[in-house]
Amino acid sequence: MAHLNQRRHQNVSGDFYVDRTCIDCDTCRWMVPEVFDRVDEQSAVYHQPMNEEERRRSLQALLACPTASIGTVEKPKDIKQAQQSLPILVDENIYHCGYHSENSYGAASYLIVRPEGNVLVDSPRFTPPLVKRLEEMGGIRYMYLTHRDDVADHRKYREHFGSDRILHEDDMNSGTCDVEIKLSGSEPHQLETDLLIIPVPGHTKGHTVLLYKNKYLFSGDHLAWSAQLDHLIAFRDACWYSWREQSKSMKKLSEYSFEWVLPGHGRRYHADAETMRHQMQQCIAYMEAK
């Protein structure tokens, strides 16, 4: 819960504010760029919501904030409507869960709604409003974990929904050694006809990405859009295993066709397959120059 007495002076006056507990994870800034911005290495409100749509999205960011660093001066009477609006539709049957976890440094989690069984990509916070909505949307068949960093409350989701967790063995530790589906090796794993898991060692040794319907790439911390650089990137300063291996993995990934990049950290990106191929080549060139 945000505290008014810790309100950052960089916020503009008005109802919404960010307090000094912000960890600079970027969640609110990419969710509502019209309202939140980065000032002095933390988020701040630079423009108060001007209409119902901006207010709704600002409340969604408030709920998504992993450290509860966003608050309102007045108690929001419409917070339940905001809770009901999560997960947020991204495209077709793809949803952004919100409720980011501090244990994953604010990483995004996604839900794929499928008749054959829903897939939860990485772990959001285990919180009653989200759990209820996930129940209403059909539960969770698989809980796919891209890598060791963004597992958060995976065990609570397993216990509640009975979902099978998926993680590469090279990224397992004492907290994830009991996952139901253990991936191994460097070859792609066809989980279902429309779900392909691709090993991409680099950020971590056992990092994988999930390609759904050859259209949606859930990229974890392997690949994201940089608003500052205006192209797809990998995070050189957050490469915990091998930058050289991550460059190799990126070249391998560039051979696949997809139209969406949905990362854990960083910004989403959507383009036609041809533009995406060009972006991937630009990303590889950027990595080789680093």
Would you state the pLDDT for residue 251? 98
In this structure, the answer to whether residues 109 and 239 fall within a common structural domain is yes
Paired strand residues for 39: 42
How are beta strands 16-18 and 181-183 bridged, if at all?
unpaired
Contact 289, 252 (CB under 8 A): no
CB neighbourhood size of 288 (10 A): 10
SS3 track for 23-90: CCCCHHHHHCCCCEEEECCEEEECCCCCCHHHHHHHHHHHHHCCCCCEEECCCCCCHHHHHHCCCEEE
In this structure, the answer to whether residues 210 and 274 fall within a common structural domain is yes
Paired strand residues for 183: 168
How are beta strands 195-199 and 119-121 bridged, if at all?
unpaired
In this structure, the answer to whether residues 269 and 129 fall within a common structural domain is yes
Contact 232, 280 (CB under 8 A): yes
Nearest to 108 by CA among 129, 136, 86: 86
Residue type, 262: L
Q: How far apart are CA 43 and CA 28, in angstroms?
A: 8
Would you state the pLDDT for residue 49? 98
In this structure, the answer to whether residues 115 and 140 fall within a common structural domain is yes
In this structure, the answer to whether residues 64 and 133 fall within a common structural domain is no
In this structure, the answer to whether residues 104 and 244 fall within a common structural domain is yes
Would you state the pLDDT for residue 220? 98
Paired strand residues for 43: 38
82, 105, 130 — which closes off a domain? 82
In this structure, the answer to whether residues 132 and 250 fall within a common structural domain is yes
Q: How far apart are CA 17 and CA 72, in angstroms?
A: 6
Contact 108, 60 (CB under 8 A): no
* pTM (predicted TM-score): 0.97
Would you state the pLDDT for residue 58? 98
Would you state the pLDDT for residue 205? 98
Which ranges in 118-242 belong to alpha helices (H)? 128-136, 154-161
Q: What is the CATH number of the domain that holds 71?
A: 3.30.70.20
Number of domains composing the chain: 2
Stretches in the chain below the pLDDT threshold 50: none
Where does the chain show beta strands of DSSP type E? 16-18, 36-39, 42-45, 70-72, 88-91, 94-96, 110-112, 119-121, 142-144, 164-168, 181-183, 189-192, 195-199, 208-212, 216-220, 224-226, 231-233, 260-263, 269-270
In this structure, the answer to whether residues 108 and 77 fall within a common structural domain is no
CA 9 vs. chain centroid, Å, equals 29
82, 110, 128 — which closes off a domain? 82
Would you state the pLDDT for residue 197? 98
For residue 112, what are the domain limits? 86-289
In this structure, the answer to whether residues 123 and 267 fall within a common structural domain is yes
In this structure, the answer to whether residues 108 and 74 fall within a common structural domain is no
**Segment holding 251, helix H or strand E:** helix 243-253
82, 114, 149 — which closes off a domain? 82
In this structure, the answer to whether residues 46 and 169 fall within a common structural domain is no
In this structure, the answer to whether residues 252 and 264 fall within a common structural domain is yes
Q: How far apart are CA 19 and CA 10, in angstroms?
A: 10
